[in-house]
Amino acid sequence: MDPRPRFLDHRVVNTPTIALLQAKNEIKRMAQVAGTMFLEMAEQFNSFNVRTASRLKQKEELLDILQRDISAFLITLSRQQLSTENAMEIPALLQLINDLEHLGDQVEAIMEYMRRKKEDKLRFSGAAMSEIRTLSALVSQVVTVAVGSLDTLPISSDRNDLEKVMAEIESTLATLHLSHIKRLHSGKCSVIAGLLFSDIIASFEKIAQIAYNTIKTSRELK
């Protein structure tokens, strides 16, 4: 995977329409990388793979590079004479870049938690693993829509359906926290494993909110 922007050419910053198109194509690439990172990470709850973890680390580093380079490109562009419409797009695009990079950070955080779980031989109950997979599947729906919202042909998503998924995620999180506390009190879950479980759930919650914000920002740009 080439750890550099593919679409940016600083020679076109004097042509804002083309420059913005290049930036949007690079942001679309960022979204696709972040989306595949999430999907690959979710598979690790079935079987943790060290090679996959290493590959995801490389993708997260790519997101860091793209965030830096696209941001610098947009800031250079913002210094040109722009139409009001083009000028208003730049802050929204910078927000998208930051959100996508943060999404990658949270995916990497979950991978680190899973690595610790494996290396420290920590055990999650069958119920806890089932809860994580349920939450992951719900969050995956929002991430998929977020990635699609930045595509040329975005995935169709009714606003009401999206709000229902976000509400279901919130409800699931509340249920997971209650179940988690019960397992701790009953001794079915060790304190260390319990802390790791809480960290994983918190990262999924952050990913859902980041993806939701990405969808809202991308819709504002259309």
Task: Decide: 173 and 205 in contact? Cβ < 8 Å.
Answer: yes
Residues listed for the chain: 222
Task: Decide: 83 and 16 in contact? Cβ < 8 Å.
Answer: yes
34-59 mean pLDDT: 93
Range from 59-68, 89-98, 174-183, 185-194 carrying the lowest mean pLDDT: 185-194
Task: Decide: 82 and 18 in contact? Cβ < 8 Å.
Answer: no
3-7 mean pLDDT: 88
Residue 57 has pLDDT above 70, yes or no: yes
- Per the structure block, which two tokens stand in for 205? 């919650």
Q: Is the dihedral of CA 161, 141, 155, 16 positive or negative?
A: positive
Range from 13-27, 41-55, 56-70, 141-155 carrying the lowest mean pLDDT: 141-155
pLDDT at 177 (0 to 100): 92
pLDDT bin (cut points 50, 70, 90) of residue 1 is: low
Give me the domains of the chain, ranges plus CATH numbers: 10-221 (1.20.58.220)
CA dihedral 103, 189, 114, 168 (to 10 degrees): -30
What lies within 8 Å, CB to CB, of 37 at 6+ separation is 56, 59, 60, 63, 103, 104, 107, 108
pLDDT bin (cut points 50, 70, 90) of residue 63 is: very high
Q: Is the dihedral of CA 182, 186, 187, 188 positive or negative?
A: negative
Q: HSE of 188 in the Cβ direction (CA atoms, 13 Å)?
A: 12
41-50 mean pLDDT: 90
- What distances in angstroms separate CA 123 from CA 29, 150, 199, one per listed residue? 36, 38, 15
pLDDT at 187 (0 to 100): 78
Among residues 63, 138, 65, the alpha carbon closest in space to that of 106 is found at 63
- What distances in angstroms separate CA 120 from CA 101, 109, 112, 114, 149, one per listed residue? 29, 16, 12, 10, 39
8-18 mean pLDDT: 94
Q: What does pTM read for this prediction?
A: 0.93
pLDDT at 185 (0 to 100): 86
Q: Per-residue pLDDT tens for 162-197? A: 999 999 999 999 999 999 999 888 877 888 999 999
Rounded to whole angstroms, how far apart are CA atoms 194 and 83?
53
Q: In terms of C-beta density within 10 A (0-12 exposed, 13-18 middle, 19 or more buried), how is residue 153 classed?
A: exposed
Residue 153 has pLDDT above 70, yes or no: no
